[in-house]
Amino acid sequence: MKLESYVRPAGLEEALAVLAAPGPKALVFAGGTDLVPMMRKMRMNGTLLNGDSPRVILDLSKLDELCGIRKAGGMLEIGAATTMGVIAADPSVKKLVPVLAAAAASVGSPLVRNRATLGGNLVTASPSADTAPALLAAGAVVRLAGAEGGPRELPLSEFFVAYRKTALQPGEIVTHVLVPLAGRPVAGRFEKVGLRNADAISVVCAACEIELEGSTCRAARIGLGAVAAVPVRALAVEAALLGREITADVAAECARLVHEHISPIDDVRASAQYRGWVAEAVVARMITDTAREAGA
């Protein structure tokens, strides 16, 4: 890559100004755990030789405004540049949004988790991003900022537009991820099937949060990854669970509806057939285990 400059802005304002500047588009960089392998892959197959590759790298990883976790306005506010390692170990995340802590802890290896950021995991918009289903289950909202106009907020379910495409407008970045605190803690689980335990990309990942009254489901949110072009909510499964007493049989019956929302593909890690089967099995198991752990 013909890099002409590397910019580490002093503040968010400067970062947004760099992005809005005329000329070659800057490439946003935080942990680099997706970007660097991508650059190396392009180097291998020669695509970086094309002249239109980005010339400016904008490093957001040291922006204080984008790092850290705090409670504000009834929300748990997580800076987009907060690393997976920090999120996985954070006491408030572990207590209030355990599905996110579990998802963050399952990303890559310790080395990757010390660099990879939550914002990066979402902006890359990989269908297999582990934190996406957890945040979908937690009903998260993303806050976006650009040089013009004020920041805007968007439910995460509207953020993923198409395969590796997000609702970010040119010049915009994700600054924070917000999880509503009302009703927390809530029963939930994160599940991941990969090719091995350590440092593996998900073949299927899933998360759920279920509000229970006794053993009856009062509300449910289920997120799924690596089974469609984008991370998806399993709305039909959620609807079917409402008002039901959760047993293994009910969970298995409702989980069958997962196929309405998924469109898995064959890739280097697994076949579409396998992903479909396992998505259903994982959702059934996840619902059953969540209810059991909640004492239902």
State which residue, 216 or 277, has the beta carbon closest to another protein.
277
State which residue, 261 or 285, has the beta carbon closest to another protein.
285
Task: Tokens 């920041």: give the residue.
Answer: 151
Could you tell me how many residues of this chain bind another protein (CB under 8 A)? 27
Task: Tokens 């407008």: give the residue.
Answer: 169
Please, how many CA atoms are within 13 Å of residue 223, restricted to the half-sphere of its CB? 30
Q: Which helix (H) or strand (E) holds 224?
A: strand 216-225
Q: Which helix (H) or strand (E) holds 242?
A: none
Q: Does 270 bind another protein (CB under 8 A)?
A: yes
Judged by CB under 8 A, the chain residues 161 through 220 that form the site for another protein are 193, 195-201, 203
State which residue, 3 or 242, has the beta carbon closest to another protein.
3
Interatomic CA distance for residues 288 and 296, integer angstroms: 10
Q: How far is the CB of 219 from another protein (least distance, A)?
A: 26
Cβ(84)–Cβ(121) under 8 Å?
Answer: yes
Q: How far is the CB of 23 from another protein (least distance, A)?
A: 22
Interatomic CA distance for residues 138 and 92, integer angstroms: 14
Cis peptide leading into residue 231 (ω within 30°): no
Interatomic CA distance for residues 197 and 84, integer angstroms: 17
Q: Does 263 bind another protein (CB under 8 A)?
A: no
Stretch that binds another protein, among 16-24, 180-188, 226-234, 272-280 (CB under 8 A): 272-280
State which residue, 127 or 139, has the beta carbon closest to another protein.
127
Judged by CB under 8 A, the chain residues 41 through 100 that form the site for another protein are 41, 44-46, 49
Options 11, 37, 151, 214; binder of another protein; rule CB under 8 A = 37
Q: Does 274 bind another protein (CB under 8 A)?
A: yes
Q: Does 240 bind another protein (CB under 8 A)?
A: no
State which residue, 75 or 282, has the beta carbon closest to another protein.
282
Q: What 3-state class would DSSP assign to 238?
A: helix
Q: Which residues bind another protein (CB under 8 A)?
A: 37, 40-41, 44-46, 49, 193, 195-201, 203, 268-271, 273-274, 277-278, 281-282, 285
